[in-house]
Structure 1
Amino acid sequence: MLLGVDYYPEQWPSHMLEADMDRILELGCNVIRIGEFAWCRMEPVENQYDFSYFDGVIAMARKKGLQVILGTPTATPPAWLIRKHPDILSQFEDGTPRAFGGRHVSCYSSVPYRAHCAQIITHLAEHYKNEPAIAAWQIDNELGHEGSDQCWCPRCRAAFHNFLKEKFNGDIQALNQTYGTVFWSQEYDRFEDIPLPSPTITTHNPALRLDWERFCSENLRSFAAFQADLLREIIPGAVVIHDFPGGGLSKHVSYADLAACLDRVAYNNYPVWGGQKEPLPPSEIAFGLDYIRGLKGENFWITEAIMGAQGHDITGFLPRPNQAKLWSWQAMAHGCDGLMYFRYRGATKGAEQFCYGLLDADNIPRRRFLEAQSFFREVRPYEEALSTPVRSEAAILYDYDALASFRIQRQSILLNCQAEMKRLHAVFFQAGQSVDVIPASRDFSRYKLVLAPNMIVTDPDFAARLKAFVAAGGVAVVTYRTAVKDRDNNLVFGKTIPVDLGDLLGLYVEESESLQESDCIPIVGETGGGSAGVFRDMIVPQGAQVLWRYDDPFYRQYAAITRNPYGQGIAYYLGTAPDQTVLEQVLTEAMARADMERLDLPQGVESMLRGEGDCRVRILLNHNDVSVHALGQALDPFQVKILPL
């Protein structure tokens, strides 16, 4: 189990190196993560490579018994490279270049940029290919973060045209037919005339915009793949990782496709960030961890865990004593089996001076240092249990094209796919049930229950797999705005909604309404009344049992929530976003029909099972700032208990 810190030795005087390493060992670490922002130190002048500084750092780490995760420094190209090739800088939508001085400012379509990345990676890998202290190689840093997942420069436009030529086999008329460019007289004679979907009067063609989203994703994926392939070519057997930032479901890049290039997925976990009055709810932190685990369906590493307050310009909430330690345990409970704190010592210069580390600028160990030390000490005995896979009985499915479709045409100002997934996930969280968050393209036949929320773009293959899952005895929960569009982001002529799923769900949708409020319409069911909002489908049952019906004057004839037996299983349809009480009732029933256990947990208490056989444990976490009792255990504020089973 790798346990350690993110260390930036180049930011400190060299005479501090050995004392730092000794204290890192005192902390309980066995790994340091270095090098990801050090291009100017590694290649101070073009073609003059100097790894002597990091030779000393790595030699010292080896001497002390510390392993190393070494980053490729491509997220921050040096000033001399931008001076020579200013067009490496990516551009905003209005064509303005992003200024040198931040990070992630390079265009991934830039040939000179990729060429210089290849050179620095090649020299770095050749230099360290026989270094036994290097446990893994991290490519770049937080790809797609902070708006770097889109560039609007002429190079990207040309690359986008090539992307479209390849997709349509050079047939411009096939593109015209697919996009329906006869609308608004947008027919093209050549690919070079196709615009980027930058701001215009009204809006661009939705099919064009979806292909732009796909291009942006592929551009980043190919950049990651090129680095990973180069490292493996030079160092057969190299462990290649990447540190994903949060918010992946809202990025213009498919994290799952990028993760396919990697040996290990890593995650930078920030339950609280600058300006936040309070941390994310515990269930949302858990959702982020489950999503990261789902990228490869495997355990993962945390490359940036926090202990102090964070922020670039505006800082925020300081984690309470033992709260950040609890977040570290929560990560381990959800499939993390290696964790590094960001950072060993807070910076005194540069943009991250207020991203507080384990040590402050005064270099005196205090609470945060001791709290991290205690976590490392307490987690090691459970390495065997935490190294086993997480076994979930339920899965939430998502689709990159569908998420992009809602970015393109949101329909309701309140419709937020990621928030809706988190809302569904939170019900399982409160029931003590683990959930995998996975791409819909993955095989989901082994689960007892799957949820398909707001999957507006689908295809016949997905419909067939979902039907087979339910027919074999599975339970499915499908929500409004699912199976509305085809893979090109177009409505489907001649088929009712939900497309190809009407027989599974036992219904069709006659009309739909976008609601700009939550809980604004009454619904009624066997257990009484409730409310719903955001969006609603007017459901006409075709065999489905009506569980809840709309109760406003004009639409009482339509169902709101239904249940339909199909084969040996059952399928639910939520035609609207019901209030929390109704949602919990429906999902609790679905869990019961899937024969899933539901724990009686107090609000803010989390339970996760880890391990197999004789080393199976329950991890019980109290996210509350007050003492509680749960499952027969007394828990102090932010306390974690590991219970052998």
Structure 2
Amino acid sequence: MKHLLTPLLLLFTVATFAQTTWFNDKDLTLTGVYYYPEHWNENQWERDFKQMRDLGFEFTHFAEFAWAQLEPEEGKYDFDWLDRAVALAAKYNLKVVMCTSTATPPVWMSRKYPEILVKYEDGTIREHGARQHASFASPLYRELSFKMIEKLAQHYGNDKRIVGWQLDNEPEVQFDFNPAAELGFRDFLRKKYSRIEELNNAWGTTFWSQVYASFDEIKLPRTKQLFMNHHQILDYRRFAASQTNDFLNEQALLIKKYARNQWITTNYIPNYDEGHIGGSSALDFQSYTRYMVYGDNEGIGRRGYRVGNPLRIAKANDFFRPIQGTYGVMELQPGQVNWGSINPQPLPGAVRLWMWSVFAGGSDFVCAYRFRQPLYGTEQYHYGIVGTDGVTVTDGGREYQQFINEIKLLRKHYAPREEKPADYVARKTAILCNHENAWSIDKQKQNRTWNTEQHIDKYYRSLKSFGAPVDFITEDKELNDYPVVIVPAYQLVDEALVKRWEKYVEQGGNLVLTCRTGHKDRFGRLLEAPFRSVIDKVACNKLDFFDLLLPHDPGMVQMNGKPYTWNTWGEILIPAAGAETWATYQEEYYAGTPAITFSKLGKGTVTYVGVDSSNGDLEADVLKQLYARLNIPVMNLPYGVTLEYRNGFCIVLNYSDKPYTFDLPTGAQVLIGKKEIPTAGVLVFK
């Protein structure tokens, strides 16, 4: 397959975000690797650091799970061993990312203070022996954590060999039923609702005799209990996310009392609907972890599971980058993992492909997990850069080395970060997201086959096929920075947000609203008004009613003579005067009624997609028609092939199961790869 890219003649600089001060853009990206000095004989450390340096790594990563070594007894600290490791790393020009170890509190703490342990909804106590077993809601656990972190920050905060800090490890949102969490939840509610009457109103407690007389009567909601008040669960999820955010914020602020020119981040798992990512404002930027081959079959073709989902890294890039304008990937696998349902070998070249995918999105660093394959513990079968002998470089390790050398080549061709072609920037699109919409919808799905994330991905996948730069943004971002803003399944709204959408469109923006938008207020309550009427003006239509069909007998929608199936959600629309009908239902008793409308509003446009199609083809064709109407140039990349620009480079990545031929623009200089890109191949040109 081929695609002709428009010539790179119109280049200009767009300063979307303030330039980071933590990284030198001329480095393009830095590459590091995890190392656990406490796991290995000290007489092997120097050999290992020398090999890291020889392979090209620029930083390493210490103390993530070492609390027992840092504080072997309560109040007694030992940093001597870590000092020796830092000194040896520095000897080989390796900077160090220091970690706070709070994911693995030591045994003495679990035994002396069992009240700090997480408690599950069924009453089970999370026992020592794994990780993340301590409750973020426990004031005692926080006190013990902060004492250790303060000692660590005092010791290393002014150490030039330490480039930055990682807090905790893959911090999660804990649905914790520890007694301290229940007390914390009540305090959270007291701050949110000044009077118990306000809470009763927000939660609709007159329904089923749930009225509370005081905050002290409130317990944590049993989320697995049938028919539990979903307004209460919504607030509980907000509280749970806030506990993780507050714990990270307090760590960061404590370190900043002592740190000099050291950045602070953490490594989130990209679970987009948990609600904590981006919620800790004291972090300097966000990082994430990503594993691509672990037994799923989201790739393309019979052996696609060896390469992975083509958009798994791209989506994480586009989600994390807009939060603060910079991001890194703290964990990326160099080979097989140990924890998947099935743990196959990656396809040769796939590890390198993933690193290039991280780079393409604009990252400032990528870090391999891990340098040495462990000989004991839960992760014995997890590949490293070197194998079990501690010396032999694995295939994935060689791919890391290849990537490092290729980045060194690109540094000779450096251009500013935001130097990108005009047609690429012209199709820049935002997807407005709020995890609370998914929380609310999933408690009242109305159709078991509805999936909020998959609904969003139907639009995202289409945009990536356009070769469009995409930002997932939150409500605090400026909509006018984007020619097109997509608002998918935005169930919880208020008048202020709807007014912002109207203003954006009236000033010339192009808004895409989708089904399930504007149904409820921020408490999850329906409005005492015609259904969904709060968005009627900006949608340029009214909702007559919605329908849901059985998955084995889907309905049909037609646009431009082409049929599409649906079953999860369909809204029957009444268009406003002047609105165009782009698609209509073809079956059921409402056959011929509008499913999709397009309208002009002020200087801009509104496209309302009232139906969720079965496979995303309808959403793709709607966006193609919209961008054509707006004269926004788009590409037509097949699924599995993605394209991004940064630092004057175009990076084309092939996750598909067949070679892809890319037509280079006139005058392009190929730096890496060839125009025929094999599976797991990469093309870089300028």
Judge same fold: TM > 0.5, yes or no: yes
* Contact in 1 for aligned 2:158/2:260 (Cα 8 Å): no
Are residues 1:172 and 2:159 paired? no
Q: Contact conserved, 2:294 with 2:339, CA < 8 A, in 1?
A: no
Deviations 1:465-508 (A, max 9, x none): 111111122211111101111011111112431x4221122111
Q: CA RMSD in A?
A: 1.9
For structure 1, which runs of at least 5 residues remain unmatched after alignment? none
| Match status 1:196 vs 2:214 | no
Equivalent residue letter for 1:538 = I
Residue 540 of structure 1 corresponds to which residue in structure 2? 574
Query: Tell me, what secondary structure is at the counterpart of 1:537?
Result: strand
1:477 matched to 2:502? The reply is no
Alignment equivalent of 2:157, drawn from 123, 129, 136: 129
What is the CA–CA distance in structure 2 between the aligned matches of 1:412 and 1:212, rounded to whole Å? 24
Deviation string for 1:377-400 (max 9, x for gaps)?
101343545855996710111113
Higher relative contact order (CA 8 A, sep 6+): 2
How far apart in 1 are the matches of 2:595 and 2:446?
Answer: 19
Q: 2:109 aligns with which of 51, 66, 81?
A: 81
Structure 1 residues 413 and 294, CA gap change in structure 2 (3 angstroms): farther
Partner of 2:71: 43
1:530 is matched with which residue? 564
C-alpha contact 2:273 2:436 (8 A) present in aligned 1:
no
Partner of 2:538: 504
Compute the displacement of 1:529 (Å): 2.4
Answering whether residue 400 of structure 2 is matched by residue 341 of structure 1, we say no
CA deviation vs aligned residue, 1:71-120 (integer Å, no higher than 9, x gap): 00111000000111011110111121111111111111111110110110
- Cα contact 1:168–1:174 (8 A) shared by 2: yes
Match of 1:586 in 2: 622
> 2:238 aligns to what?
214
Structure 2: gaps (5+ residues): 1-28, 298-304, 665-674
Q: Deviations over 1:264-290 (max 9, x none)?
A: 211112122256555542123311221
Letter in 2 for 1:257: G
- Give the 3 Å change call, closer, same or farther, for CA 587–560 of structure 1 in structure 2: same
Closer, same or farther in 2 for the Cα pair 1:200/1:267, shift >3 Å? closer
For 1:351 and 1:416, the matched residues in 2 are separated by 33
- Among 500, 515, 536, the alignment partner of 2:549 is 515
TM-score for both structures, normalised by structure 2: 0.89
1:311 and 1:354 in contact (8 A); partners too: yes
* Contact kept in structure 1, 2:507 and 2:602, CA below 8 Å: yes
Q: For residue 142 of structure 1, what is the aligned residue in structure 2?
A: 170
Contact 2:491 2:516 in 1 (8 A): yes
Provide the C-alpha distance between the structure 2 equivalents of 1:467 and 1:132, rounded to a whole number of angstroms: 50
**Displaced runs of 4 or more, over 3 A:** 199-202, 274-280, 381-392
| 1:464 equivalenced with 2:499 (yes/no) | yes
* Structure 1 residue 452 corresponds to structure 2 residue 475: no
Residues 14-33 of structure 1 correspond to what in structure 2 (within 5 A)?
14-33=42-61
Aligned to 2:348: 321
Is contact 1:267-1:303 (8 Å) kept? yes
SS at match of 1:54: helix
1:604 to 2:640 alignment: yes
Report the 3-state secondary structure (helix = DSSP H, G, I; strand = E; otherwise coil) of the residue aligned with 2:607: strand
TM-score by length of 1: 0.94
Q: 2:286–2:328: 8 Å Cα contact kept in structure 1?
A: yes
Question: Is 1:360 matched with 2:394?
Answer: no
More off after superposition, 263-272 vs 516-525: 516-525
CA distance in 2, matches of 1:204, 1:388: 49
The alpha-carbon deviation at position 313 of structure 1 amounts to 6.5
- Quick one: which of 558, 562, 572 aligns to 2:593? 558
Write the distance in 1 (CA, Å) between the matches of 2:338 and 2:419. 33
Change in 2 beyond 3 A, CA 1:420/1:285 = farther
- Contact residue 278 and residue 286 of structure 2 kept, 8 A: no
Name the SS of the counterpart of 2:542 in structure 1: strand
Give the 5 Å matches for 1:33-432: 33-144=61-172, 148-169=173-194, 171-199=195-223, 202-247=226-271, 249-251=272-274, 253-258=275-280, 260-274=281-295, 277-296=305-324, 298-312=325-339, 314-363=341-390, 364-383=392-411, 384-385=414-415, 387-388=417-418, 393-432=428-467
Contact 2:549/2:555, CA 8 A, preserved across alignment? no
Q: In structure 2, do the counterparts of structure 1 residues 532 and 640 end up closer, same or farther at CA, with 3 Å as the change threshold?
A: same
Instruction: Measure the CA separation in 1 of the matches of 2:313 and 2:617.
Output: 22
Q: Is the 8 A contact 1:414 1:534 kept in 2?
A: yes
Instruction: Determine if contact 2:307/2:655 at 8 Å carries over to the other structure.
Output: no
Instruction: State the shift of 1:203 in Å.
Output: 1.5
| Residue aligning to 2:5 | none
2:223–2:233 CA contact under 8 A, matched in 1: no
Offset of 1:206 from its aligned partner?
A: 2.1
CA change 1:494–1:314 in 2 (3 A) is closer
